[in-house]
Structure 1
Amino acid sequence: MFFKQFFDSKLAQTSYMIGCQKTNEAMIIDPKRVLDEYIEVAEQEGFKITKATETHIHADFASGLRDVGRKLGSQLYVSDEGDDNWKYLNMPSDTVFLKDGDIINIGFVELKVVHTPGHTPESISFVLTDHGGGSTEPMGMFTGDFLFVGDVGRPDLLEVAANIKGTTEIGGNQMFDSLQKLSQYPDFLQIWPGHGAGSACGKSLGAVPLSTLGYERKNNWALQYGENEKSAFIDELTKDQPEPPTYFSEMKRVNKVGLDEFSLKDIKVDVTNKFIGQLFDLRVKEDFRDGFSKGAINVPYNDQFIQFVGWYIDFKQPMTVVVDPNNSEQLQKDLASIGYDGLELIIPSDEVFSLVDDSYETISPEKFVQAHLNDSILDVRTSKEYNVDHLDSVEHIHFGTLRTADIPFEKDKQLFVHCQSGVRSAMALSILKARGFTNIINVDKGFIGIKGNMN
């Protein structure tokens, strides 16, 4: 048997390829939209990718399932569990719709379907047995967003991201019941989850890429509750979940109905003030601070770019970006990973200065503490960070919601903005500037710097 784990650090998302070395067949589980890695590995190993499946309709990234069918001719397998609200639509005519107990064979490798709702109603897991290796015992389980290392999938995304009322309570009950199904499996069963640390699909995901069921039984908080402790489990499960990025609701929709096939395109490169659609400036925050074009949103192009830009993209508008044109191909792939194909214009970052007509100030935490603790202050951290500790008399608004949130300050009055370390507040400053706030100051080093100068 062949086994390969693919981890996308930009999304904290994990996909897998399994293959039968006797028949040279392979299958992808939870494919992301850009298929290059899977194709490269299959060619290196001499496999033909004949099948693809996924554990559920994803909310945090754009699925590549349909593209595997379109580009590689693979047969697709999807969940047919859950209610009618979350059934896959617009699938190929030969798609296999899966129910609990169904079997998928990849040569002599077997995947058995287990319905594990809780994160979403249609969620399924796959128990793998390597018959080609002579085993009758299961080796591991692909758990998707059901069971993580150190955590389980959050049940509230359908309610908070897709606005389907009442689903958090239903999901919490289903998750508890799904966890009881694990009692039939041995401790040595490997656990192959769909996400790692950094994902917003849970609140305490571990950074280790895989685990065993025995280890999780001893160390995962969610497996410490007895059969009569469902209420306490649900209380803990639904508490302190991170705010989901706004793009999650778009992902649930497009992964249900399908996206156009992804392909790279030639992006126009030009220095012009005639921007196409929404404007994003991808330079580092220090360069952006010193001079930018009014209306630009600053999201630096680094490994956290996708997790941040997903809060701000308008999926109905095309996009202009300020970035090195050499990043065009990778940027298109990154945006495609959250289902956005609207990039139309690149303004070279080293030529943007002719378009500069705005800037903002930064203040050191020392000077802020000395003179401005009683002034107007906006805290843009997460609710969890804010609840742990915060300054007196501040207004709290999550950085990702600033494009549409009601902001209770006058646009021409001095306003200080801070996050935890100074990264997210710099993005927040660009949003506030785009919304017409003219006298805003970023507190360098954020809350950490502020508290360090208050002792």
Structure 2
Amino acid sequence: MVAIVPIDTPSLGDRSYLAHDGEVALVVDPQRDVDRVLAVAEREGVRITHVFETHVHNDYVTGGRALANETGATYHVNADDEVSFERVGVRDGDVVTVGSMSVTVLATPGHTFTHLSYALAGDEGTIGVFSGGSLTLGSTGRPDLLGEENTDALVHHQYDSVQRLASELPDEAQVLPTHGFGSFCSATQSDADSSTIGTEKRTNPALTKSEDEWVEEILAGLSEWPVYYAHMGPANADAPQDAPDLTLPATVDKDAIRASLEAGEWVVDLRNREAYAKGHVGRTVNFGVDGQFATYLGWIMPWGASLTLLGDSPEQVAEALRELVRIGIERLRGQATGAPQEWTDEALQSFERATFADLAQVRHHREVTVLDVRRADEFGPSHIDGAVNVPLHDVLERLDEIPSGELWVHCAGGYRASIAASLLAAAGHHVVAVDDSFANAAETGLSLVAG
């Protein structure tokens, strides 16, 4: 009996897989921190003999090469991918035997030109398909990550690939994508956690709409993606051959933290947004490790910038370090843990947190600027009348457009608002962070408009 174990990375919205027959195992699309995969294999009592990549990833650095080197597994990558390392190239129609399991290679271009999916079968027949960034739950992988000049070709390839999977695989086959759990690599998001080919045939727009209708809908709905993606393709074409070093960097003292801040380096406070708002070292910025930490830090921080981490505990810093290595940030200036008063001799800074109800009351009494830091595709359908929209990832580049005076900063749920508020406070703005769900805004009497 074949078992499939998903290995989730919620902060990046991705999922890797280990499948085994009780003795040997294969792994699909492993993340950089391969110790998690090794732990699953040890728990299941199996030996990893094969590693498969569906594509050269855009949103994280692969751990496939390092995992194969550590376990002696065969590393399968599309034979047409231009990579700098030894691997066993596979192409459409190849069948790879792994113990009592078999893996059939299916060319499914669309997310990339060389994207592959892998149909998994056991004694009981076809079990599922590892669909990477092709067929995702309720959607597909986005077709625009290789540049505008390739988008038109890729979106039509994506449609054809999804149709192929639906026509060639049985309805009961599980759909096992890498993206689609919050990753910006997915064209749209779904709340589903599992699915089958049959379910997707009934519900996935790529399988229920005409090609022209679906293409128009997908292209119209594509939003921006994190700029750090540009560094992932080259990193994966020269994939790391060893597991990452997850040892905590050197501890820094008050003087070193002050020197980093004075030099304009990045000093990131990992604590949750409530703790940060109550008291923090001036000019530090807040990227709480309790949210999509690596996604937003990688999006906003200049690539290669010097980075120091401040956290409640060594465990919190270790969690952040693990997140960072997944996107290729493996060298830090240093770290410190404890309470913020231990990191500076200066008075701690703070700012207010509020709700949309508070904002509604304040607007009756005085003029304030509402700064909406959601993406443009979120702002357009519904926003507070009079709000200024500067998406979080544009805040630093558009500081000269941010109005002076009292800024009430909000997003969809509070996490991005705290990041933006910290960036603006460090630049000298008077901020109030709205820590509330945007769904509550309409109930407060705030006027919402579209357009």
Structure-2-length-normalised TM-score: 0.87
* Structure 1 runs of 4+ with >4 Å offset: 446-450
Contact 1:16/1:28, CA 8 A, preserved across alignment: yes
Deviation at 1:446, TM superposition (A): 6.6
Contact 2:289/2:319, CA 8 A, preserved across alignment: no
Deviation at 1:111, TM superposition (A): 0.8
Residue 310 of structure 1 aligns to a residue whose secondary structure is helix
Residue 113 of structure 2 aligns to a residue whose secondary structure is coil
Tell me whether 1:366 sits opposite 2:357 in the alignment. Answer: no
Tell me whether 1:329 sits opposite 2:301 in the alignment. Answer: no
Summarize the Cα distance change of 1:432–1:4 in structure 2 as closer, same or farther, 3 Å threshold.
same
Distance (Å, rounded) in 1 between the aligned partners of 2:31 and 2:162: 26
Contact 1:193/1:210, CA 8 A, preserved across alignment: no
Tell me whether 1:452 sits opposite 2:443 in the alignment. Answer: yes
- Structure 1, residues 126-168: CA drift from partner, whole Å, max 9, x if none? 11221xx2x5x42221111111121111111222xxxxx3222
In the alignment, which residue of structure 1 is the partner of 2:216?
235
Q: Aligned letter for 2:267?
A: L
Q: Aligned letter for 1:216?
A: E
Deviation at 1:380, TM superposition (A): 0.6
Q: Which moved more, 1:287-296 or 1:72-81?
A: 287-296
Contact 1:272/1:347, CA 8 A, preserved across alignment: no
Summarize the Cα distance change of 1:106–1:201 in structure 2 as closer, same or farther, 3 Å threshold.
same
Deviation at 1:171, TM superposition (A): 1.3
In the alignment, which residue of structure 1 is the partner of 2:92?
100
Residue 396 of structure 2 aligns to a residue whose secondary structure is coil
Contact 2:314/2:337, CA 8 A, preserved across alignment: no
In the alignment, which residue of structure 2 is the partner of 1:29?
28
In the alignment, which residue of structure 2 is the partner of 1:64?
63
Tell me whether 1:430 sits opposite 2:422 in the alignment. Answer: yes
Distance (Å, rounded) in 2 between the aligned partners of 1:17 and 1:286: 37
In the alignment, which residue of structure 1 is the partner of 2:158?
175
- Structure 1, residues 56-83: CA drift from partner, whole Å, max 9, x if none? 11112221111112322222110134xx
Contact 2:61/2:236, CA 8 A, preserved across alignment: yes
Calculate the aligned-residue CA RMSD, in Å. Answer: 2.4
Deviation at 1:288, TM superposition (A): 2.1
The correspondence for 2:207, drawn from 214, 223, 245, is 223
Contact 1:196/1:207, CA 8 A, preserved across alignment: no
Contact 2:180/2:186, CA 8 A, preserved across alignment: no
The correspondence for 1:278, drawn from 249, 261, 266, is 266
Contact 1:146/1:152, CA 8 A, preserved across alignment: yes
Unaligned runs of 5+ in 1: 82-86, 160-164
Distance (Å, rounded) in 2 between the aligned partners of 1:42 and 1:80: 27
Within 5 Å, which residues of 2 pair with 1:266-305? 266-275=248-257, 276=260, 277-305=265-293
The correspondence for 2:327, drawn from 338, 344, 351, is 338
Q: Aligned letter for 2:334?
A: L
Residue 51 of structure 1 aligns to a residue whose secondary structure is strand
Distance (Å, rounded) in 2 between the aligned partners of 1:216 and 1:238: 20
Contact 2:58/2:232, CA 8 A, preserved across alignment: yes
Deviation at 1:260, TM superposition (A): 6.2
Deviation at 1:362, TM superposition (A): 4.4
Unaligned runs of 5+ in 2: 447-451
Structure-1-length-normalised TM-score: 0.87
Distance (Å, rounded) in 2 between the aligned partners of 1:450 and 1:3: 42
Contact 1:217/1:224, CA 8 A, preserved across alignment: yes
In the alignment, which residue of structure 2 is the partner of 1:90?
84
In the alignment, which residue of structure 1 is the partner of 2:73?
74
Deviation at 1:4, TM superposition (A): 2.0
In the alignment, which residue of structure 2 is the partner of 1:84?
none
Residue 6 of structure 1 aligns to a residue whose secondary structure is strand
Residue 432 of structure 2 aligns to a residue whose secondary structure is strand
Aligned length: 431
